[in-house]
Amino acid sequence: MKPMANRSRSNELRTDAGSRVPRYLQVASVLRRRISDGFWPVGARIATLEELEKEFDVARVTVRQAIDLLASEGLVKSFQGRGTFVTKAPGVDRWLQLATDWQSLIDPIRDNVPFPLPPGPEPAPRIEDGDGTPAGRYVFLRSIQKRDGKPYAFARVHIAKDVYDKAPEAFASRVALAVLADLPGLTISRAHQTLAIGAADVETARHLEIPLNAPTAEARCVVAGADGTIIYVGEITYPGDCVRLNIELMAEAR
């Protein structure tokens, strides 16, 4: 076992009393990262409950909750009288590459089949300064997308009502962006996407089948029509362990 550094209080853990993230989730996040980084490789015994209790300055029950969470994810297993051992590393198969241009955004999702969710409360689309002019009305759709039977995307999208009415059956059965790209007579003047790193809330964790507060990648895409009216606002959340962002900073000289 790799010896634990002697720390009176871990600088990896948020200690502000105002944090809304439960302490056991904060502790679990740090331990999960140490396993992912190889600080504790598979087969290694992690620090004892007493060591973790002192390091993070939390109650023993908080440490136990964090360990139980990692155990439920299959990352560790505890043995009476022997300690807790790493059984596997967190998934690092980042097979989903977020696009940095329109064509590379559309091509991989053109044939994807969304699994619709009940609409639920219909929030107004989040439109920010510089996005464009809001449409008069929007249709709100929610869905998940799956790969090999496992959810990997939780989508909440708003589509301008006049655009949606052009192909309601297509929007019900295909990914909305792919429908927009193929819609005859529709001119797209601008499309932009932003990416934020977040953590799964209760609803996201349920739909993506990931632990509460697990890392996520949150992509927000805005598409405007020919006159600058916003025809699509999509907020798509992905599990953090399947996403990769690859940006070419300098092309190879020819």
- 37 lies in the same domain as 130: no
Confidence of residue 52 (pLDDT cuts 50, 70, 90): very high
Place of tokens 């997308």: 145
40 with 102, same domain?
Answer: no
Q: Are residues 230 and 138 in the same domain?
A: yes
Mean of all residue pLDDT scores within the chain:
85
Identify whether residues 103 and 143 lie together within a single domain: yes
98 neighbors 244 (Cβ within 8 angstroms): yes
Q: Based on the fold, state whether residues 116 and 154 are members of the same structural domain.
A: yes
Per-residue confidence (pLDDT) for residue 117, from 0 to 100:
93
Task: Read off the pLDDT of residues 169-186 as tens digits, 9 standing for 90 and up.
Answer: 999 999 999 999 999 999
User: Does residue 136 fall inside a structural domain?
Assistant: yes
Summarised one tens digit per residue, pLDDT across range 201-236 is: 999 999 999 888 788 889 999 999 999 999 999 999
Instruction: Write the CA distances from 3 to 40, 122, 226, 244, integer angstroms.
Output: 10, 52, 62, 32
Q: Does any domain span residue 18?
A: no
Mean pLDDT is lowest, of 13-22, 90-99, 120-129, for 13-22
Position 199 pLDDT exceeds 60: yes
- CATH for 240: 3.40.1410.10
Kindly state the average pLDDT of the residues 103-131: 86
Residues 196/130, Cβ–Cβ less than 8 Å: no
Instruction: Give the residue numbers spanning the domain of 102.
Output: 96-245
Greater model confidence, 22 or 142: 142
Task: State pLDDT tens for residues 54-64.
Answer: 999 999 999 99
Q: Which residues pair with 239 in a beta bridge?
A: 216
Higher pLDDT, 93 or 238: 238
Overall pTM surpassing 0.85 (yes/no): no
Based on the domain organization, do 101 and 222 belong to the same domain?
yes
Is there a single domain that holds both residue 71 and residue 101?
no
- Can you give the pLDDT at residue 250? 65
- Count up the domains in the chain and report the number: 2
**pLDDT for 90-101, tens place per residue?**
765 555 566 678
Indicate whether 114 and 211 sit together in one domain.
Answer: yes
Distant-in-sequence, close-in-space partners of 152: CB < 8 Å, separation ≥ 6: 96, 145, 146, 208, 238, 239, 242
